[in-house]
């Protein structure tokens, strides 16, 4: 599709490929886009709107919430509860499933989201974003419960993320490749700027929180050690380390320039299973990476094959350029 196409036109054109499509999915994506625009506006206003700083509360993970965490979560709920396209929602910021209020019809999709990834960056004007995942609701039409959301990532209908940075960018997959749209503030529309994104198979960049090095498992220590050794080491080339403190920013760079993003298993987070949430972060971003030709693994398993055991399950994450992820997985298999 042509550069400059609006995201609405893009989704409608996708819908036309499926003669049996009802339009519900298109309407859902449009509601998600409205939520992203609203959050982007609040992010730009920042301190002028009094939305920076702590909210004085904790989320289900025991993390201190920022004001923008709470605001963004509420925006996503309000924008998506009324349209009749969603049967229920689940958020990283909420303990349990959010059921659609009785005055609104229930739809045929389940929506999961991390309303504000990297929220600790808000007070320092760093990169932040939103991540979302769309699943099919049970055909029974009943009131969804938590177990209805526990579907493997391979079952996702769509996934995406928004990056609130120098530009506001929406990255989207509906299972037919990955496309990115940039918000044109002058007309209030997301326009296609990065069609058919592909992750380069090789790169000289990696993203990892190096402060956790002492907690890493030997396969990850080996991989990072080889990268640091540069041209004199076994890789024979120099690497650069990047770390933005927000998954959306690091993964978007991987989509554009290749490389690998790691939040691996370590002894620090072993009791929790990992750092990142399977349902709200790992699954949707893994779908984006795979649809762009990359790989996404825990180190031992394909992320999209994992059978979730809870809404807030955490997992190790290694994703990016195919050859780099294959190398890290091989190191895990060697032990």
Binding residues for substrate: 209, 275
The DSSP call for residue 63 is: P
- Cα–Cα nearest to 137, from 284, 24, 293: 24
Locate tokens 């004199």: which residue? 232
With a CB cutoff of 8 Å and minimum separation 6, the contacts of 166 are none
**Considering only CA atoms, which of 277, 60, 283, 275 is closest in space to residue 151?**
283
CA distance 324 to 224: 11
C-alpha closest to that of 156 among 299, 303, 258: 303
SS3 88: strand
Binding residues: 92, 114, 116-117, 209, 275, 281
Q: Please, which residues bridge with residue 320 across strands?
A: 260, 295
E strands along the chain, which residues? 54-58, 64-66, 86-91, 98-99, 109-117, 128-136, 158-164, 168-173, 178-184, 189-194, 205-207, 240-242, 260-263, 276-277, 295-297, 314-315, 317-320
Indicate the annotated binding residues for Mg(2+). 92, 114, 116-117, 281
Structure token pair of residue 316: 């190790």
């Amino acid at each position: 599709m042509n550069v400059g196409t609006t995201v609405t036109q893009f989704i409608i054109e996708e819908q036309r490929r499926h003669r049996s499509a009802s339009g519900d999915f298109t309407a859902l994506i449009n509601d998600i886009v409205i939520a992203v625009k609203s959050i982007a506006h609040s992010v730009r206003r920042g301190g002028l709107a009094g939305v920076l700083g702590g909210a004085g509360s904790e989320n289900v993970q025991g993390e201190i919430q920022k004001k923008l965490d709470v605001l963004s979560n509420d925006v996503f709920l309000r924008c998506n509860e009324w349209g009749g396209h969603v049967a229920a929602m689940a958020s990283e910021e909420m303990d349990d499933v959010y059921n659609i209020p009785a005055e609104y019809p229930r739809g045929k999709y389940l929506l999961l989201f991390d309303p504000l990834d990297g929220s600790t960056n808000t007070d320092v004007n760093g990169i932040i974003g939103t991540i979302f995942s769309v699943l099919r609701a049970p055909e029974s039409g009943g009131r969804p419960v938590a177990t209805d959301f526990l579907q493997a990532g391979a079952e996702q209908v769509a996934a995406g993320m928004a990056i609130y940075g120098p530009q506001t960018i929406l990255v989207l997959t509906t299972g037919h490749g990955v496309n990115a749209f940039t918000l044109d503030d002058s007309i209030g529309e997301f326009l296609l700027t990065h069609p058919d994104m592909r992750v380069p198979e090789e790169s000289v960049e990696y993203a990892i929180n190096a402060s956790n090095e002492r907690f890493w498992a030997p396969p990850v220590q080996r991989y990072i050690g080889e990268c640091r050794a540069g041209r004199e080491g076994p890789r024979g080339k120099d690497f650069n380390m990047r770390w933005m403190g927000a998954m959306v920013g690091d993964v978007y760079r991987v989509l554009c320039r290749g490389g690998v993003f790691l939040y691996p298993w370590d002894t620090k987070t072993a009791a929790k299973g990992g750092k990142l949430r399977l349902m709200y972060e790992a699954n949707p971003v893994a779908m984006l990476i795979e649809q762009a030709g990359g790989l996404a693994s825990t180190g031992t398993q394909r992320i999209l094959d994992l059978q979730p055991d809870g809404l807030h399950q955490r997992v190790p994450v290694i994703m990016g350029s195919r050859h780099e992820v294959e190398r890290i997985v091989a190191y895990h298999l060697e032990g």
